[in-house]
Amino acid sequence: MTISLIICTRNRAGPLRRCLAAVAAIAHDGDWELVIVDNGSVDATAETIRAFAAAQDFRVVPVFQPVAGLSNARNAGVAVATGELMLFTDDDCYVAPDLLDAARAAFADPTIGFVSGRVRLFDPLDARITINESTTPLRFPARRFLATGLVKGANLAFRRAALAAISRGGPPFDPLLGAGARFPAGEDSDAAQRVALAGWAGAYDPRLVVDHHHGRRGHDVAALFRGYDIGRGAFHAKLLTLDGGLRPALSAWAGLPSRVRARPGLLGGELRGALGYWRAMLGG
């Protein structure tokens, strides 16, 4: 299977250099390419990408997407990628050298449409958030509810055919969701959920490994979680608009009381996200 590794970045030339150093160490005998999407950067990102591409013997595809938003950037990457598999990681992550081999193995089952991998904490001084260090594989059945957090956009892969199945009515990643968008999270869960509703199974496969050097400390956590709450509410509201989404939506909202008990402050964020998404759908 041919593979496209897609990395989106915006005004983070320093972290991007470290990220790309890990990409340069990938060992893979198959056909693959790196797609780097510059999401409107005004720092040294463009120069960093050009210098890296010139030094590699594998295919590097630079893309410039001036419209801010992670979903917009990922959609731009998908539009030019040629791989049968499309892997996404972030510009503050360091991929393992065998990431592509692991991805190819994870998609050996033809019923699998998406796979999320292991995201380890790189710096032990950083807050233990935005990671999934579990070593236990999981399978996500088709057409079932996929709770937020089960897939991580920092290490997420799709079969091209699965993304094509959810792109007939629009782009694979919802421009309203994700970093830099109106609702600052949830684009990864939304894309995977729509793939599942299209009839594909998914998986968490710990053989796919990246290390996340996110740099957030304790004082950053509350603001990050507020954004996640809003994105989660928007994602759960969107479920009601999807074919086959009623049952997942009921599962999503049935879990609200337990989420509130675990963290009472999230209620306002989820409701804000849900109401905001419905207003957006109505043109508000």
- CA atoms of 230 and 225, how far apart (whole Å): 9
Rounded to whole angstroms, how far apart are CA atoms 110 and 272?
39
Grade residue 171 by pLDDT with cuts at 50, 70 and 90.
very high
In the predicted model, what is the mean pLDDT of residues 241-266?
A: 96
Give CA–CA dist 215/91, Å, rounded. 12
Mean pLDDT score, 35-62: 98
What's the pLDDT at 108? 98
Using CB atoms within 10 Å of the CB of residue 18, give its burial: 0 to 12 exposed, 13 to 18 middle, 19+ buried.
Answer: middle
- For residue 58, what pLDDT band results from cuts at 50, 70 and 90? very high
Q: Are 233 and 240 in contact (CB under 8 A)?
A: no
In angstroms, the CA 207 to CA 102 distance is 6
Task: Give the pLDDT score at 242.
Answer: 96
Does pLDDT of 43 surpass 80?
yes
Q: What is the Cα–Cα distance from 238 to 236, expressed in whole angstroms? A: 5
The string of DSSP codes covering 117-129 is EEEEES-TTS-S-
- Which stretches within the chain are classed as H helix? 13-24, 45-54, 70-80, 99-106, 160-165, 187-197, 221-238, 246-254, 256-262, 266-281
> What contacts 221, CB < 8 A, 6 or more positions away?
127, 129
Mean pLDDT (the chain) is 97
E strand intervals along the chain: 3-9, 32-38, 59-64, 85-90, 93-95, 112-121, 138-140, 155-159, 201-212
Burial class of residue 233, CB neighbours in 10 A (0-12, 13-18, 19+): buried
- pTM above threshold 0.95: yes
Higher pLDDT, 229 or 169: 229
pLDDT reported for residue 78: 98
pLDDT grade, residue 245 (50/70/90)? very high
Q: Which single residue is written with the structure tokens 């402050």?
A: 265
Query: Quick one: average pLDDT of 44-63?
Result: 98
Residue among 77, 75, 85, 92 nearest 157 (CA): 85
Q: Is the pLDDT of residue 124 over 90?
A: yes
| Percent with pLDDT over 90 in the chain | 98
Question: pLDDT tens, 74-94?
Answer: 999 999 999 999 999 999 999
Give pLDDT, residue 284: 72
pLDDT of residue 283: 85
* Tens digits of residue pLDDT in 184-225: 999 999 999 999 999 999 999 999 999 999 999 999 999 999
pLDDT for 194 equals: 98
Does pLDDT of 45 surpass 80? yes
